[in-house]
């Protein structure tokens, strides 16, 4: 299965108009054999970037996704999503006060921060 996957990866890179395999390496040093520690060096001629791809990545990542990532340079898309006001939403869409509230909540002092702020403006009476 591993050799089949590596052969499919080789064929996919060969079929790409912008990617080329430029050998194997272990810890940045060229090598001639495939081992668990080996990485495949892939050159993207469009972006003039080179990537070292771990054998485990080649085996475990869907081939189309891996080739697309090597062609575009976009490897992982993560969206921060959380719930503060009763529904989940992307953090990137939040205004500055909502992101500040999230930062306070992460520190664990959100309610303390609110109490101090209300004391400063005279809204909290004892």
Note whether 86 and 25 are same-domain residues: no
d(CA 4, CA 64): 15
Main-chain phi, psi angles of 90, to 5 degrees: -75, 135
Range of the domain at 18: 2-72
Contact 53, 40 (CB under 8 A): yes
pLDDT at residue number 73: 87
Note whether 65 and 25 are same-domain residues: yes
Note whether 43 and 104 are same-domain residues: no
Note whether 18 and 43 are same-domain residues: yes
Asked if residue 125 is part of any domain, the answer here is no
Note whether 59 and 94 are same-domain residues: no
Note whether 46 and 11 are same-domain residues: yes
Q: Percentages helix, strand, coil for the chain, rounded to the nearest 5?
A: 45, 25, 35
- For the chain, the domain total comes to 2
DSSP class of 91: G
Note whether 25 and 64 are same-domain residues: yes
pLDDT at residue number 88: 74
Q: Say what the pTM is.
A: 0.59
Asked if residue 64 is part of any domain, the answer here is yes
Asked if residue 126 is part of any domain, the answer here is no
Note whether 46 and 13 are same-domain residues: yes
Note down pLDDT in tens along the chain; length 126 residues.
Answer: 888 999 999 999 999 999 999 999 988 888 888 888 889 999 999 999 999 999 999 999 999 999 999 999 887 766 667 776 677 777 777 888 888 887 877 777 666 555 555 555 555 555
């Amino acid at each position: 299965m591993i050799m089949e996957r590596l052969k499919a990866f080789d064929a996919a890179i060969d079929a790409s108009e912008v990617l080329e395999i430029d050998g194997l390496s272990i810890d940045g040093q060229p090598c001639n054999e495939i081992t668990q520690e080996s990485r495949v060096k892939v050159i993207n001629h469009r972006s003039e970037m080179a990537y070292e791809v771990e054998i485990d990545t080649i085996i475990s990542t869907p081939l189309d996704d891996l080739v697309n990532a090597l062609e575009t340079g976009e490897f992982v898309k993560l969206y921060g999503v959380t719930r503060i006001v009763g529904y989940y939403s992307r953090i990137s869409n939040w205004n500055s006060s909502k992101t500040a509230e999230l930062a306070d909540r992460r520190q664990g002092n959100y309610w303390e921060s609110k109490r101090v702020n209300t004391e400063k403006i005279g809204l909290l009476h004892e």
